Structure 1
Amino acid sequence: MKSKLFFLLGFSLFVNSVSVEATSDPTPEQKFAEWKQALKPEMLEQGAPESLVDEIIGSLKYIPRVIELDRRQPEGTMTHEEYLTRVIPDSKVKRARKEFAKNRDLLQEAETNTGVSARFIVALWGKETHFGNITGNYHVPSALATLAFDGRRASFFRKELMAATQILKEGHISLDDMKGSWAGAMGNCQFMPSSFLRFATDANGDGKKDIWGDKQDIFASMGNYLAQSGWKSEQTWGRQVKILNDFSNYKLGKKHKQTLAQWQAQGVRRYDLRDLPSVDIEAYLIAPGGEKGRLYLVYNNFDVLMRWNRSHYFATGVGYLADRIAYPASSGD
């Protein structure tokens, strides 16, 4: 009787465990595995052969860490002054000058072809990937698919995944080597796939736009991005300034653009208190660090840098590094 009771009890527990397993919700990984199969028709529309599409879909993995990073993104608490000194320390400036000298010929070629000064290309390269040392090791198609599946910005990342499919179809990089950041920014340039399709350049004529490993393509692509975004080769990005009147007398921001002559009349001077340049350029005043921080008059090319990354910290940081590459005597080192 006891053995029969134990048998019935054990059978009941087995049935219940099967029932719970059968009715439990599928995991995100299981949902993703089903979801990704529906990508095939849209990927085929990019002109990719079915064999490649099947290979791409087969390679897609759900990456929980990508979701974690996307949702976490804390607002920066660093002051502008801390940003300039911590993110662009003297060691980075010295490295930038070495890279500028080492790659002078390729940089000059990119400058000649795009009209973008080589020092800005090096500054962007240093800011984005520390001169190619930190480019990201995430499988870009999987990262993009994970973010598209998650749904917070599904439409944006799905379009980027389709752009990545087109890049793979064109043969610029292999599926295994398509690496980048958790958000899908790729290679030395940190281009999103859609930006790659618009701006990446095959500078050496080998049939590939290689922003992962070919410096000739990397520099040309960065210069092309800025050039196509409205860069003016005859101008710089802006300049740090001082004001002769009380801070409250000045209007900040792009809506308050004026000529340099008008800013001069309002008591704005170069940082060393000399007069502003006597040229017909419009500029606006920004104070990324607030009233007590650094003040800048910025020009058209600052707006172009903002198209690359919509942060005053980033754009002034690129300008700051580019200036220190070009003018070491005035940098205090």
Structure 2
Amino acid sequence: MSVRFSRVLGILIALLAAPACADEARVSPEQQAAFAEWLNVYRAEATARGLKPEWLDATLAGVTLVPHVIGADRSQPGTAARPVRFPDYLAAKFRGDRVVHGQRQFAANRDLLAQAEAASGVPAAIIAAIWGIETSYGRVMGRHDLPSALATLAFEGRRRDLFTRELDAAVRIVGEGHASRAVMKGSWAGAFGQTQFLPSSYLSYGRDGDGDGRVDLWASQADVFASIGHYLAKSGWQAGEGWGFRTLPPEGFDRASVAATEPPSRCVAPLSRHSALKPAREWRALGFTPVNASWPADDVPMSLIEPDGAGQGAYLVTRSYRAILGYNCSNLYAMSVTLLADAISLPQPVAPLQVATTGAQ
């Protein structure tokens, strides 16, 4: 182990062990020096990758090491060490007025959502549900300084390549004039705006929905809806194909008989919980019953997913559902989006767990 690596490792351990208080008070001179050294290396390497020095100067101005971001990154829920049951996850996501306010926002933005649906093929309710789950309909977008959060995560090293790329993208956003340095605020994980896009997603999938010549994911609802729709379309949403529905498996059904024969190549852990894709007609012939829903066309591929295991709630989902996994690679997340979409498109409010257990459409 090199002397430099040992020193940085020791600093990171100290950061994680520090008590939860103001970040500035917890960063020692040695930690600041190590971070400054890393920033110098990053600047040199980013310039070699084609980022202009003036872009780097503008974006990295005022960047600081943020220790609590490291702690947040290392304590994510839903891992093998911290499993989360779907009803508990759903109750947390639907806490407060997420459904009732969502119905109001769905109605108030009906025309803009319809435009985004027409352009992308993604249902308006799904676009609105992503908006609702990500930022509670634009009310909670995060207040972290994005360059500082991204630089901290790249410096920390657990996912260095990912966050170095995202910091590069943030530099490009500011440097190319897509957004000012002052508005670059978001979550501790580097996501921002009402869509909670990472910087690279902004550059790849951001869309100008209001025709003003720029993509403003902080303040333009038209841009927000157009960008979410475009993202899901590019992630595989099938126009005219719903996400699926809650289902009742036949009694004594042998789940091994529909197990996937090949491991997934992306979003591995969540998709490993899915059965093989089979045409809807085959699931119907096997005796599966939709709950408050209708079967899609006979040839629509669907897979069986039971988030908490056999006998604890089953769903048949389509390729369009898998597109939501492209937004966030988590079955709990994707299922909460679909159920929120169903709930906010209903004329009357529905309780969160009622949505999960009745499969309201």
TM-score scaled by length of structure 1: 0.85
Q: 2:306 aligns with which of 282, 287, 298?
A: 287
Tell me, yes or no, if structure 1 residue 159 matches structure 2 residue 165: yes
Tell me, yes or no, if structure 1 residue 206 matches structure 2 residue 209: no
Q: CA deviation at 1:89?
A: 4.7
Aligned CA distance change for structure 1 residues 292 and 85 (closer, same or farther; 3 Å): farther
DSSP 3-state at the match of 1:176 = helix
- In structure 2, the residue matched to 1:18 is none
- In structure 1, the residue matched to 2:221 is 215
- In structure 2, the residue matched to 1:310 is 329
- In structure 2, the residue matched to 1:179 is 185
Aligned CA distance change for structure 1 residues 278 and 122 (closer, same or farther; 3 Å): closer
DSSP 3-state at the match of 2:193 = coil
- In structure 1, the residue matched to 2:199 is 193
Separation in structure 1 between the aligned mates of residue 44 and residue 92 of structure 2, nearest angstrom: 47
Task: Structure 2: give runs of 5+ residues left out of the alignment.
Answer: 1-27, 260-272, 355-361
Separation in structure 2 between the aligned mates of residue 90 and residue 50 of structure 1, nearest angstrom: 46
Task: Structure 1: give runs of 5+ residues left out of the alignment.
Answer: 1-24
Q: CA deviation at 1:119?
A: 0.5
Separation in structure 2 between the aligned mates of residue 119 and residue 63 of structure 1, nearest angstrom: 37
- In structure 2, the residue matched to 1:11 is none
Q: CA deviation at 1:88?
A: 1.9
Separation in structure 1 between the aligned mates of residue 275 and residue 252 of structure 2, nearest angstrom: 20
* Letter aligned with residue 306 of structure 1: L
Aligned CA distance change for structure 1 residues 63 and 331 (closer, same or farther; 3 Å): closer
DSSP 3-state at the match of 2:190 = coil
* Letter aligned with residue 277 of structure 2: K
DSSP 3-state at the match of 1:32 = helix
CA contact (8 A) 1:47 1:169 kept: no
Tell me, yes or no, if structure 1 residue 97 matches structure 2 residue 116: no
CA contact (8 A) 1:110 1:219 kept: yes
CA contact (8 A) 2:275 2:305 kept: no
1:81-120 C-alpha deviation (Å, 9 max, x unpaired): 2222332257311111100111112111111111111101
| Structure 1, 252-261 or 147-156: larger mean CA deviation | 252-261
* Letter aligned with residue 137 of structure 2: F
- In structure 2, the residue matched to 1:9 is none
1:47-98 C-alpha deviation (Å, 9 max, x unpaired): 6553332232332111111111112224354321222233225731111110
| Structure 1, 311-320 or 167-176: larger mean CA deviation | 167-176
Separation in structure 1 between the aligned mates of residue 30 and residue 50 of structure 2, nearest angstrom: 32
Q: CA deviation at 1:37?
A: 2.0
* Letter aligned with residue 251 of structure 1: V
DSSP 3-state at the match of 2:251 = coil
Aligned CA distance change for structure 1 residues 275 and 185 (closer, same or farther; 3 Å): closer
- In structure 2, the residue matched to 1:234 is 240
Separation in structure 1 between the aligned mates of residue 228 and residue 100 of structure 2, nearest angstrom: 21
Q: Which stretches of structure 1, 4 residues or longer, exceed 6 Å deviation after superposition?
A: none
CA contact (8 A) 1:171 1:208 kept: no
Larger radius of gyration: 1
- In structure 2, the residue matched to 1:261 is 281
Match runs of 1:68-83 below 5 Å: 68-74=71-77, 75=79, 76-83=82-89
Aligned CA distance change for structure 1 residues 277 and 54 (closer, same or farther; 3 Å): closer
Separation in structure 2 between the aligned mates of residue 51 and residue 261 of structure 1, nearest angstrom: 59
* Letter aligned with residue 132 of structure 1: G
| Structure 1, 75-84 or 316-325: larger mean CA deviation | 75-84
Identical counterparts, % of pairs: 38
Aligned CA distance change for structure 1 residues 37 and 330 (closer, same or farther; 3 Å): closer
Aligned CA distance change for structure 1 residues 205 and 330 (closer, same or farther; 3 Å): closer
CA contact (8 A) 2:142 2:187 kept: yes
Q: When the two structures are aligned, how many residues end up with a matched partner?
A: 308
Aligned CA distance change for structure 1 residues 56 and 326 (closer, same or farther; 3 Å): closer
Tell me, yes or no, if structure 1 residue 326 matches structure 2 residue 333: no
CA contact (8 A) 2:38 2:155 kept: yes
Separation in structure 1 between the aligned mates of residue 298 and residue 241 of structure 2, nearest angstrom: 10
* Letter aligned with residue 213 of structure 2: G
1:243-275 C-alpha deviation (Å, 9 max, x unpaired): 222144563554522111111111101125x87
Aligned CA distance change for structure 1 residues 36 and 327 (closer, same or farther; 3 Å): same
Separation in structure 1 between the aligned mates of residue 254 and residue 45 of structure 2, nearest angstrom: 55
CA contact (8 A) 2:59 2:175 kept: no
Separation in structure 1 between the aligned mates of residue 56 and residue 276 of structure 2, nearest angstrom: 50
- In structure 2, the residue matched to 1:5 is none
